[in-house]
Amino acid sequence: MHVNRALGVVIMCSGFGASLAAQDARQSFQQLSGAWEGTIGTSNATPIRFSFANDSTQMRGEFDALASGVLAMPVRVSTDTGGVFRLTIPNGWVFRAI
């Protein structure tokens, strides 16, 4: 079964945040597993999608923005304080999933 969920994201140019304890992070990552869809931009919003899978050692993610020709860009996942996810893609964009 494939589940799509709405994702609220905020683009950040830079930021700082403390890491959660390893156990808390693993529990938070389990909540992130699956597919999340949303938009980026204020006018002519571009649909985006994040897909996450949790293997036995780490969270793996991919970023898609089909209208822009981006498909399966790897995502580095970490957590900020309060269980907010920091999603970093290779072009330097950082998303905060709230």
Predicted confidence at residue 58, as pLDDT, reads 76
Residues 6+ apart with CB under 8 A from 20: 28, 79, 81, 83
Q: Specify the pLDDT at position 45.
A: 87
Residue 80 or residue 2, greater confidence: 80
- Report how far residue 11's alpha carbon sits from residue 94's, in angstroms, rounded to the nearest whole number: 6
Per-residue model confidence as pLDDT tens digits over 2-54: 444 555 554 443 333 333 345 555 666 778 889 999 888 888 888 999 999 87
Residue 5: its pLDDT value, please? Answer: 53
pLDDT at 20: 35
